[in-house]
Structure 1
Amino acid sequence: MTRLSVEMLAADAPPPITSAGHAQLGIAVLVGIAVIVLLITKFKLHAFLALTIGSLALGAVAGAPLDKAITSFTSGLGSTVAGVGVLIALGAILGKLLADSGGADQIVDTILAKAGGRAMPWAMVLIASVVGLPLFFEVGIVLLIPVVLMVAKRGNYSLMRIGIPALAGLSVMHGLIPPHPGPLVAIDAVKANLGVTLALGIVVAIPTVIIAGPLFSKLAARWVDVPAPDRMLPQRASEQLERRPGFGPTLATVLLPVVLMLAKALVDIVVDDPANHTQRVFDVVGSPLIALLAAVIVGFFTLGRPAGFTRDRLQQTVEKGLMPIAGILLIVGAGGGFKQTLIDSGVGQMILDISKDWSIPALLLAWLIAVAIRLATGSATVATVSAAGLVAPLAADMSTTHSALLVLAIGAGSLFFSHVNDAGFWLVKEYFGLKVGQTVKTWSLMETIISVVAGGLVLLLSLIV
């Protein structure tokens, strides 16, 4: 970023709510993040409350008037929820509909029926990637664990040989591919193009998931050679249904929003004329809101009706899909409030001023910041929203593709080395019956491989596009 562009940004930006210098702002950032880390890790406080308190602590140390700090936080919370809240809700509905109708089981069973032997780890990563598109990470784990245990037992496979590819597929989707909350928040924060981010995210995701999934699982199976836990498998949705949707309609429904958003991005590149009627149509149908809404409505007929769902059952599915996301929305919203407090306090401009003479690439800086926050808080979502707020000003002078790569760099950094302060760490440990050391050697190392490989690919792409 040039000195002239920095000065132009400074002229266009509203005045900060504090007159603190760079040193004081730097201390304020460290205090704010430290408060969040301590409250989450030491006192086990909910991330929403921790982010709220951390934002106020940041404003106080930076010397901002309390009323202005509160205004910054609430405005950031409101704008973030307004930007991504509906999308998270629609994604949750689609995921719940996919699970309850037996559509997810249909995808799983169809792919498994055509795979065997050495192809099984590749089948598992494919299943997890497809099923993980509309599902939150934790929901995907709960949905796929019975399949992983069943395949490992019946096929006499090492649990890690089957489980790691499935976890890698879910984790990569969660960190890099919208409509997952983290990527959506980062896209909103840096004003990136969603379609371009999605397209580049897929380019990064494919080799990343291959390396961290089927390839790494060979080593993981040697290091931690454990059988599937001998316990009762959870009942799958399709076992409670007389019939379930077909494979083709289910897969088409899952991929519909992705196809619509990618089509919009392609038309924008080829046509590049805002007045063109075709481009205007695709701008509407390919917008995340319409794409996900279309998938939900189509899902009522392609998933709900074949499963025999009545109108009341569909309504219950929608309600059950929405209930678990309240906490996610609050965390994402509070992360947006923290981001806005950072920006309004002048931290974003401080990073611009300091980094304009650095030789470190902005994408690497974003990755490192996300890594630091991830290691400290254990939350990929908190790492994403916090890092996005810190580096958002760097995107103002970037091209469309590089701002999308900035989002992916943040997402890659947010996945680095999951350990004992991450709920996902314990979820994997308990479901797979592992010891803490075994979980570190498998799950934690897999997450690190995803983060490093994806981050490296993002930097490589930045030299090409």
Structure 2
Amino acid sequence: MTHLSVEMLAADAAEPITTAGHAQLGIAVLAGIAVIVLLITKFKLHAFLALIIGSLVLGAVAGAPLDKTITSFSAGLGTTVAGTGVLIALGAVLGRLLADSGGADQIVDTILAKASRKAMPWAMVLIAGIVGLPLFFEVGIVLLIPVVLLVAKRGNFSLMRIGIPALAGLSVMHGLIPPHPGPLVAIDAVGANLGVTLALGVVVAIPTMIIAGPVFSRYAARWVDIQPPENLVPERTSDDLEKRPGFGITVATVLLPVVMMLAKALVDIVVDNPEHTVQRVFDVVGSPLIALLTAVLVAMFTLGRAAGFTRGRIAATVEKSLGPIAGVLLIVGAGGGFKQTLVDAGVGQMILDISKGWNISTLLLAWLIAVTIRLATGSATVATISAAGLVAPLAAEMSTPHAALLVLAIGSGSLFFSHVNDAGFWLVKEYFGMNVGQTLKTWSVMETLISVVGIVCVLLLSLVL
């Protein structure tokens, strides 16, 4: 696990592009975010363009050279598109195959038949929690979106009533439960026991998912009562098909990348030697890119051919899947560019410097540091790494359970209030067809609930352990 944290720390350890003081950096952050929000809400400028302009304003106010600001933004955009963008594209292809073959209809029909209307949000948070265990948040979204949108439309649910539980399940897994990279890095940094952290993480995750998912979705659906965006809802084509794939093979196809990535995570934990042949093989097989690519290729047979598709129709389905996500890719990429500009300007280090004088409980201190860095940079990973590095010396005298709780406190803080500097914010906004205000009232509030409930559970556990 050490190699993972070293690689991630090195990736974020770039030389700052400005020598501005803390006050100037703080003003720059506020100015950049204000410009983005104003351009989108007041002037109706496309989010992709607003994020570019906001990044330039941030760099200018911070006193960074224009060329370095552009380089930072471009690097962040490129990294995000190269990683998340490819996964979104592969997920879109898998989702279209799932929809056009009738596989998504098969899953939705089965869920609607087996779960009552009241139980549907609970079913969604359970599915998302299981699927999200080994997956990055973005991968989980692209896998679940076709199912979420179809359940909402076919069951005549508000999209928030179904979507929020799914998002909550994915987000909690991503922030709190190993083998996700953030928790693994924090475990390594503070010297916590992985098994204890995993066990306590599940204890914290269950009430957190319930409150931020099915419970909060009741209120989110009242605040933002929207229907699934028509351009992203998979069309029901199974009525025109002579046959469609069975429920079992459809679910197996969707879960194939989940199983592949989970296998990689388990091998990483058991072998824990990056030079070992078995671990190197599973590092390739279980990478998100290979796992989703494999699932797409398998789906061409298990879904496409099972529905009677010719090679030509499969090719047309793949081509048709990529058009609707072009805007999503650009916006998510630009969100990554803005985040990288913040990081390279030294905002994360500024927060660390300011927080050194805080005199409070170690668990609460770790949470507050992670919250502040998350708010400033938009990156849960940067928040986790930075906070873990700062409080790691304090973990030396901690018991095994309390060291695990320190990891969970950091993870909880790293999820606080996702907003316009977070690429995930734009991903959710575009997939669910919301405007900025609606996304803040639903997704951002949900993330804040996860963070607050998470730290409350951690503090309560610290009293009895």
* Within-5 A mapping of 1:41-120: 41-116=41-116, 119=119
SS where residue 105 of structure 1 aligns?
Answer: helix
AA at the equivalent of 1:166: I
- TM-score, structure 1 as length reference: 0.70
Give CA-to-partner distance per residue, 1:100-132, whole Å, 9 cap, x none. 221111112123333447655544655777899
Tell me, in whole angstroms, the C-alpha distance in 1 between the residues paired with 2:105 and 2:129: 14
- Structure 2 equivalent of residue 251 of structure 1: 251
AA at the equivalent of 1:413: F
Tell me, in whole angstroms, the C-alpha distance in 2 between the residues paired with 1:120 and 1:342: 39
Distance 1:131 1:241, change over 3 A: farther
Distance 1:311 1:191, change over 3 A: farther
- Structure 1 equivalent of residue 323 of structure 2: 323
- Structure 1 equivalent of residue 166 of structure 2: 170
Give CA-to-partner distance per residue, 1:44-64, whole Å, 9 cap, x none. 212211111111111111111
Task: Say if 1:97 and 1:304, in contact at 8 Å, map to a contact too.
Answer: yes
AA at the equivalent of 2:111: I
* Within-5 A mapping of 1:264-283: 264-283=264-283
Offset of 1:392 from its aligned partner? 5.9
* Within-5 A mapping of 1:389-400: 393-394=386-387
Tell me, in whole angstroms, the C-alpha distance in 2 between the residues paired with 1:454 and 1:249: 37
Tell me, in whole angstroms, the C-alpha distance in 2 between the residues paired with 1:425 and 1:98: 17
AA at the equivalent of 1:355: S
- Structure 1 equivalent of residue 400 of structure 2: none
Distance 1:167 1:447, change over 3 A: farther
AA at the equivalent of 1:361: L
Range 242-251 or range 115-124, more displaced: 115-124
1:452 aligns with 2:449: yes
Q: Report the number of matched residues.
A: 403
Distance 1:105 1:367, change over 3 A: farther
AA at the equivalent of 2:332: V
Tell me, in whole angstroms, the C-alpha distance in 2 between the residues paired with 1:58 and 1:333: 17
SS where residue 413 of structure 1 aligns?
Answer: coil
SS where residue 305 of structure 1 aligns?
Answer: helix
Tell me, in whole angstroms, the C-alpha distance in 1 between the residues paired with 2:98 and 2:455: 31
Tell me, in whole angstroms, the C-alpha distance in 2 between the residues paired with 1:297 and 1:426: 27
Offset of 1:348 from its aligned partner? 2.2
Give CA-to-partner distance per residue, 1:413-448, whole Å, 9 cap, x none. 3289xxxxx96899689xxxxxx9xx99xx957974
- Structure 1 equivalent of residue 153 of structure 2: 146
SS where residue 236 of structure 1 aligns?
Answer: coil
AA at the equivalent of 2:311: R
The answer for unaligned runs of 5 or more in structure 2 is 1-8, 133-139, 188-193, 228-232, 393-402, 421-427
Tell me, in whole angstroms, the C-alpha distance in 2 between the residues paired with 1:130 and 1:103: 20
SS where residue 19 of structure 1 aligns?
Answer: coil
* Within-5 A mapping of 1:53-452: 53-116=53-116, 119=119, 122-123=122-123, 133=140, 135=142, 142-149=149-156, 165-172=161-168, 175=171, 207-215=207-215, 236-358=236-358, 359=360, 360-367=364-371, 384=378, 393-394=386-387, 409-411=413-415, 413-414=417-418, 444=441, 448=445, 451-452=448-449
Offset of 1:219 from its aligned partner? 8.4
Give CA-to-partner distance per residue, 1:8-39, whole Å, 9 cap, x none. x99x9454222211111111111111111111
Q: Over aligned residue pairs, what C-alpha RMSD do you find?
A: 4.7
Range 449-458 or range 351-360, more displaced: 449-458
Distance 1:264 1:252, change over 3 A: same
Offset of 1:319 from its aligned partner? 1.7
AA at the equivalent of 2:453: G
Distance 1:459 1:273, change over 3 A: farther
SS where residue 155 of structure 2 aligns?
Answer: helix
Give CA-to-partner distance per residue, 1:287-332, whole Å, 9 cap, x none. 1111111111111111111112221221222222222222222222
- Structure 1 equivalent of residue 36 of structure 2: 36
Tell me, in whole angstroms, the C-alpha distance in 2 between the residues paired with 1:445 and 1:325: 22
Offset of 1:453 from its aligned partner? 3.8
Tell me, in whole angstroms, the C-alpha distance in 2 between the residues paired with 1:270 and 1:78: 33
Tell me, in whole angstroms, the C-alpha distance in 2 between the residues paired with 1:446 and 1:71: 30
Distance 1:67 1:322, change over 3 A: same
Tell me, in whole angstroms, the C-alpha distance in 2 between the residues paired with 1:348 and 1:323: 36
SS where residue 306 of structure 1 aligns?
Answer: helix
Give CA-to-partner distance per residue, 1:322-344, whole Å, 9 cap, x none. 22222222222222222222222
Offset of 1:78 from its aligned partner? 1.7
AA at the equivalent of 2:102: G
Tell me, in whole angstroms, the C-alpha distance in 2 between the residues paired with 1:55 and 1:220: 30
Task: Say if 1:52 and 1:334, in contact at 8 Å, map to a contact too.
Answer: yes
Tell me, in whole angstroms, the C-alpha distance in 1 between the residues paired with 2:447 and 2:14: 38
Offset of 1:357 from its aligned partner? 2.8
Tell me, in whole angstroms, the C-alpha distance in 1 between the residues paired with 2:63 and 2:444: 38
Distance 1:317 1:203, change over 3 A: farther
Offset of 1:212 from its aligned partner? 4.7
- TM-score, structure 2 as length reference: 0.70
Identity %: 57
Distance 1:115 1:345, change over 3 A: closer
Distance 1:77 1:427, change over 3 A: closer
Task: Say if 2:168 and 2:213, in contact at 8 Å, map to a contact too.
Answer: no
Task: Say if 1:243 and 1:306, in contact at 8 Å, map to a contact too.
Answer: yes
Tell me, in whole angstroms, the C-alpha distance in 1 between the residues paired with 2:282 and 2:28: 44
Tell me, in whole angstroms, the C-alpha distance in 2 between the residues paired with 1:37 and 1:76: 20
Distance 1:424 1:73, change over 3 A: closer
Task: Say if 2:284 and 2:290, in contact at 8 Å, map to a contact too.
Answer: yes
Offset of 1:248 from its aligned partner? 0.7
Offset of 1:245 from its aligned partner? 1.0
